[in-house]
């Protein structure tokens, strides 16, 4: 038990200093995608928080989900989440990733990202500004320091 807690603490500490993002579009309109892309550019400079886009899902710590989850993308999202190493967290960016947004009543949309994977932080907006996305990430990192985030996907 003690050992488990210790391991979790170490894992959280490592992520806190340099979280690597993986971005997955589950059926977004691209609005959130370009804002996620814009928020990794020099004007907003996320590298001061150690934030960096990771080249592969297997290197990622934080999964950024944009867009309403369509039925076809839902099992892809689950599969991607299972492939990430522990501990792992999901950030839902934009109104559609939170609950489906304007598309929630469509026949091919499941709903928000939390219907498929556990979500740690929701960032509202249509689309959220890059500052808001960075703010959400920093809030997640703060919560990690306080160890407030319980669901790291592999307890």
Partner 1 sequence: MGITKVVEIPVVTTEVPIGPQHPALHEPIMLKVYADGEEVVKVEVNTGYNHRGIEKLCEKNTFYRDIFIVSRVCGICNAVHANCYVRALEQILDVTPNRRAKFLRVLSMELERIHSHMLINAVMAEIVGFETLFMQIMLDRERVMKAKEILTGNRVSADYMMVSGVRRDIDEVKRDKIKEILLKLKSKIEYYKKVFEEDETLVKRLVDVGRVKYEDATSHSFVGPLARASGVRIDSRASDKYDAYDEIPFNVITRTEGDSWARMMVRWDEILESIEMGIYILNNLPSDGNPVPDERRLPRRFPPGEAYTRVEAQRGELTYYVMSDGKTQNPYRVKIRTPSFNNIVNSAFMYVKHTLADVPVILTSIDPCISCMERVTLIDLEKGVRQRIPLKQLSSGGRK
Partner 2 sequence: MDVAEKLKLLEDFALEKSVLKPNRKLFVVEPSYVRRIFESLIEKLGHGGFYLSTIVGTDLKEENKIRLDYYVVMLPEEETVVIRTFLPRENPVIDSLIDIIPGALAGECETYDLLGVVFRGNPFLKRGFFVPTDVSEKGIYPLRKDSGV
- The whole-angstrom separation of Cα 138 and Cα 142 is 6
- 65-84 residues near partner 1, rule: CB under 8 A: 67-68, 70, 72-73, 76, 80
For position 31 contacting partner 1 by CB under 8 A, the verdict is yes
Contacts of 100 (CB under 8 A, 6+ apart): 68, 69, 109, 110, 111, 112
Contact 121, 92 (CB under 8 A): yes
Q: 110: closest CA among 77, 133, 79?
A: 77
Nearest distance in Å: CB 141, partner 1: 23
How many positions of this chain bind partner 1 (CB under 8 A)?
A: 40
The residues of the shown chain that bind partner 2, judged by CB under 8 A, are 70-72, 107-108
The residues of the shown chain that bind partner 1, judged by CB under 8 A, are 22-35, 37-38, 41-43, 55-57, 67-68, 70, 72-73, 76, 80, 101-103, 105-109, 126-127, 129
């Amino acid at each position: 038990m003690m050992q488990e807690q210790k391991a979790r603490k170490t894992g959280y500490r490592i992520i806190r200093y340099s979280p690597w993002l993986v971005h997955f579009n589950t059926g977004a309109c691209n609005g959130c995608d370009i804002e996620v892309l814009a928020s990794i550019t020099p004007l907003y400079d996320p590298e001061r928080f150690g934030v960096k886009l990771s080249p592969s899902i297997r290197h990622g710590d934080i999964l950024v989900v944009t867009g309403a989850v369509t039925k076809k993308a839902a099992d892809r999202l689950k599969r991607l989440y299972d492939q990430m190493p522990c501990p792992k967290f999901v950030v839902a960016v934009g109104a559609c990733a939170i609950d489906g947004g304007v598309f929630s009543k469509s026949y091919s949309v499941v709903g928000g990202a939390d219907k498929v994977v556990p979500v740690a932080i929701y960032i509202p907006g249509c689309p959220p500004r890059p500052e808001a996305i960075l703010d959400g990430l920093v809030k997640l990192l703060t919560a990690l320091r306080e160890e407030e985030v319980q669901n790291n996907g592999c307890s």
